[in-house]
Amino acid sequence: MPPDVAPVKLINTLKSQLSKEVRLKYREHIEKYLWGDALFWRRSFLADTS
């Protein structure tokens, strides 16, 4: 990731895109656990560097 991109922006973008793809591909499976517009991800994340 470029150094001028904030980690929170990157994580939010990744989580949003992945959530859309998972909802489309595994719709039948996740409908058992999520209803309506329920959140797929929790609002927290961890960004770690070394």
Q: What's the confidence (pLDDT) of residue 40? A: 64
Residue 1 near residue 10, CB atoms below 8 Å: yes
Find out whether 14 and 45 touch, Cβ atoms under 8 Å: no
Domain span at residue 11? 1-34
Q: Which segments of 1-50 does DSSP mark as H helices, in order?
A: 7-25, 27-30
Tokens representing 29? 């499976």
d(CA 40, CA 19) in angstroms, rounded, equals 6
Residue 2 counted as domain residue: yes
Structural domain total, the chain: 1
Write down the pTM of the prediction. 0.52
Tell me whether residue 47 is in a domain.
Answer: no
Question: Rounded to an integer, what distance in angstroms lies between the CA atom of residue 12 and that of residue 10?
Answer: 6
In this prediction, residue 37 carries a pLDDT of 63
pLDDT digits (tens, 9 = 90+) for 1-31: 788 988 888 888 888 898 888 888 988 877 7
